[in-house]
Amino acid sequence: MDGSSIPIARLTLPEAAAERLRTLIIEGALPPGSRLNERELSERLGVSRTPLREAFRMLAGDGLLVQLPNRGAQVVALSAEDASHAFDVMASLEGLAGELAAARVTDADIADLRVLQAEMETAHSLKDLPAYYRVNRAIHNRLNAIAANPVLAHTYRVLNTRLHALRFRSNFNVAKWNKAVAEHRDMIAALAAHDGAALRDLLVGHLQAKKQAVLEAMKNEEIQGAKQL
């Protein structure tokens, strides 16, 4: 996916451009630390520079870009330490969301989540990582919506936005990807049983495993980069 197929209905032009750029960043087409060329991106996304610059400001506000004086915009590159700290906080947030959601979930919510789980497993079986990741995000966002705590939802969204690209790349490890799919089945089972403690433990464990996968991937990328020097 190149970011051009995201539906733009009901979005302003800057919002649509921001969504397309977000996808390019998450999926690695715009890697961490890369400078953004306004002319190239304007042509690639089919927008003028004015809405593109507004999109840059939106993504800078989300922590995905940094705008450098007289040097334009650059994709944020988190250090391993930054990522580790962020995942520790994310694990706590997800665990709390799970506890709250288990107390409030309805049969309709469970049915919707099972549909999403089926879609995610189909994408997994097809090795369609972009589709898998989009549905995975939808599942976790739905859990946060069911939790019905706006402060939690806002904090989760802001922090998770900065980790999307790292989370996406960590699924390149097939064994860890397979394990993550199985963990999601267990999460929905715990949610359907209204077992908040079990769901909290599953979510915290899931995020801690994701942290380790991300840190391993970052270390391997660093080693490969050093070999190429």
Hey, what domains does the chain have and what are their CATH numbers?
A: 13-75 (1.10.10.10), 80-228 (1.20.120.530)
What's the whole-number mean pLDDT along residues 136-159?
94
* Measured distance CA(72)–CA(201) in Å, rounded: 43
Other beta carbons within 10 angstroms of residue 5's beta carbon come to 9
Residues 6+ apart with CB under 8 A from 216: 173
pTM given for the model: 0.80
Going by the DSSP 8-state scheme, the letter that residue 173 receives in this structure is S
225 band by pLDDT with thresholds 50, 70 and 90: low
Residues 6+ apart with CB under 8 A from 195: 102
Q: Which residue has the tokens 């909290």?
A: 200
Asked if the model's pLDDT at residue 229 lies above 80, the reply is no
* Measured distance CA(204)–CA(29) in Å, rounded: 30
Residue with the bigger pLDDT between 144 and 7: it is 144
